[in-house]
């Protein structure tokens, strides 16, 4: 298949964009957990850049969907079989799922509340280390408890994201296996059809021979022979 295929050009761009988005998402998560490591400007920039990146990926996936629809409408023109179309659809589905999971995490109400609180802390110049060193009074204890709760929340979110990625990998393996089975079945059916095409002339000759042996002249000869014996 030609590497000039527009699908592969857009696919390469999408893969790069996804890698960039995942890096931004990781940084965004770190900033939520510890805003003291960055300024308010970096938090805002990372959030906006991540959202714009995810939106751009969604647009590219829509373009890929359109290319598949065009190919399905006239498969002979583009010389693409069902196996290749299945692989392309699987890529779009898995990539769209990755984008959806990151967007869901960003739109989660608990995460948004945490992000707003961290933004306020960064704006006021507060830091985690200052909170931990603020003393042993009740306000300090409340701050530590809140920070621990935030840390646990982030850890749970990261664990959930890892589980989702593993499930997506398993789904892709299942899709690849199914496509392989379909491809093998297609090849086997094609081989059987070729064998039948070779066998058919021999079967036809055999039928002709049978007709010769059962022709009227042969039957008359057999009848006369029987009368002579009688």
In 120-155, which positions are buried (b, 16+ CB within 10 angstroms) versus exposed (e)? Answer: ebbeeebebeebeeeeeeeeeeebeeeeeebeebbe
Tens digit of pLDDT for each residue in 73-128?
887 888 888 899 999 999 999 999 999 999 998 887 666 666 666 666 656 655 54
Contacts of 131 (CB under 8 A, 6+ apart): 140, 143, 144, 147
Do 11 and 116 sit in the same domain of this protein?
yes
Is 182 part of any domain? no
pLDDT for residue 176 is more than 90: no
Contact 99, 50 (CB under 8 A): no
Do 23 and 81 sit in the same domain of this protein?
yes
Is 185 part of any domain? no
Do 76 and 34 sit in the same domain of this protein?
yes
Do 159 and 208 sit in the same domain of this protein?
no
The CATH number of whichever domain residue 71 belongs to comes to 1.20.58.90
pLDDT for residue 27 is more than 70: yes
In which domain, by residue range, is 87 found? 6-127+154-168
Question: In total, how many domains does the chain have?
Answer: 2
Q: What is the pLDDT of residue 1?
A: 46
Q: What is the pLDDT of residue 212?
A: 45
Q: Which of 128-137, 163-172, 195-204 has the lowest mean pLDDT?
A: 128-137
pLDDT band at 199 (very low <50, low <70, confident <90, very high): low
Is 176 part of any domain? no
Contact 25, 102 (CB under 8 A): yes
Is 188 part of any domain? no
Tokens standing for residue 146: 């809140």
């Amino acid at each position: 298949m030609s590497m000039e295929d527009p699908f592969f050009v857009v696919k390469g761009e999408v893969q790069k964009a996804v890698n960039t988005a995942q890096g931004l998402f990781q940084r965004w998560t770190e900033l939520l957990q510890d805003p003291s490591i960055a300024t308010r400007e970096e938090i805002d920039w990372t959030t906006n850049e991540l959202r714009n990146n995810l939106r751009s990926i969604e647009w590219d996936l829509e373009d890929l969907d359109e290319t598949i629809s065009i190919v399905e409408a006239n498969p002979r023109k583009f010389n693409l079989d069902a196996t290749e179309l299945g692989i392309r659809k699987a890529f779009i589905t898995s990539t769209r799922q990755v984008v959806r999971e990151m967007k869901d995490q960003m739109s989660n109400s608990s995460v948004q509340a945490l992000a707003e609180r961290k933004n306020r802390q960064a704006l006021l110049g507060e830091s985690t280390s200052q909170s931990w060193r603020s003393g042993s009074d009740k306000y300090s204890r409340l701050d530590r408890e809140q920070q621990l709760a935030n840390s646990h929340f982030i850890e749970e979110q990261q664990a959930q994201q890892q589980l989702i990625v593993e499930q997506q990998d398993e789904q892709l393996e299942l899709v690849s296996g199914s496509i392989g089975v379909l491809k093998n079945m297609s090849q086997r059916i094609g081989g059987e059809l070729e064998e039948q095409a070779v066998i058919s002339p021999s079967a036809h000759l055999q039928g002709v021979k049978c007709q010769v042996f059962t022709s009227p002249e042969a039957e008359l000869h057999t009848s006369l022979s029987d009368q002579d014996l009688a």
